[in-house]
């Protein structure tokens, strides 16, 4: 029997479970990536082409994301969806702050290692799970 996902949100959502798994995965990732050394960054052999392609990628993906935000407008009244969306805002903010802290402070000298891509992804996913959990418990009302 098909279940309408809009109406099937029980007290313990599948989404909750997903974010709990994500949080656990993030903890493992943060330990693992903290122990790993930073990957060596390969420079582009054709910088101009790589730059133009990156700009095009950002533009196309941004337009696609804006188009996909129609879903956001339709689901705006769903409490759980709003918790996911607000959690994503928390994730972006925390990741940027994390990046800034590692850029501005001598974290490597303090034994914290460098902030390479995998570690940054772990921070992003972890803060998303944390943000979702907080909004889920506290509510999304201003």
Q: Does 70 bind other proteins (CB under 8 A)?
A: no
Query: Between 77 and 103, whose beta carbon lies closer to other proteins?
Result: 77
Give the Cα separation of 67 and 5 in Å (integer): 22
Give the Cα separation of 38 and 30 in Å (integer): 13
Q: Does 7 bind other proteins (CB under 8 A)?
A: yes
CB atoms within 10 A of CB 42: 6
Give the Cα separation of 23 and 81 in Å (integer): 18
Query: Between 78 and 118, whose beta carbon lies closer to other proteins?
Result: 78
Q: What is the four-CA torsion angle of 67, 62, 86, 141, rounded to 10 degrees?
A: -50
Q: Report the nearest approach of other proteins to the CB of residue 134 (Å).
A: 12
Q: Report the nearest approach of other proteins to the CB of residue 92 (Å).
A: 22
Q: Does 86 bind other proteins (CB under 8 A)?
A: no
Q: Does 140 bind other proteins (CB under 8 A)?
A: yes
């Amino acid at each position: 029997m098909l279940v309408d996902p809009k109406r099937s949100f029980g007290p313990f959502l599948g989404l909750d479970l997903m974010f709990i798994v994500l949080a656990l995965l993030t903890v493992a990732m943060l330990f693992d990536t903290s122990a790993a050394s930073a990957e060596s960054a390969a420079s582009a052999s054709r910088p101009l082409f790589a730059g133009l392609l990156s700009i095009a990628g950002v533009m196309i993906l941004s337009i696609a994301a804006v188009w996909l935000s129609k879903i956001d407008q339709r689901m705006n009244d769903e409490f759980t969806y709003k918790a996911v969306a607000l959690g994503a805002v928390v994730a972006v903010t925390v990741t940027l702050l994390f990046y800034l802290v590692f850029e501005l402070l001598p974290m490597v000298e303090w034994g914290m290692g460098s902030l390479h891509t995998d570690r940054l992804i772990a921070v992003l996913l972890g803060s998303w799970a944390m943000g979702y959990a907080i909004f889920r418990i506290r509510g999304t009302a201003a």
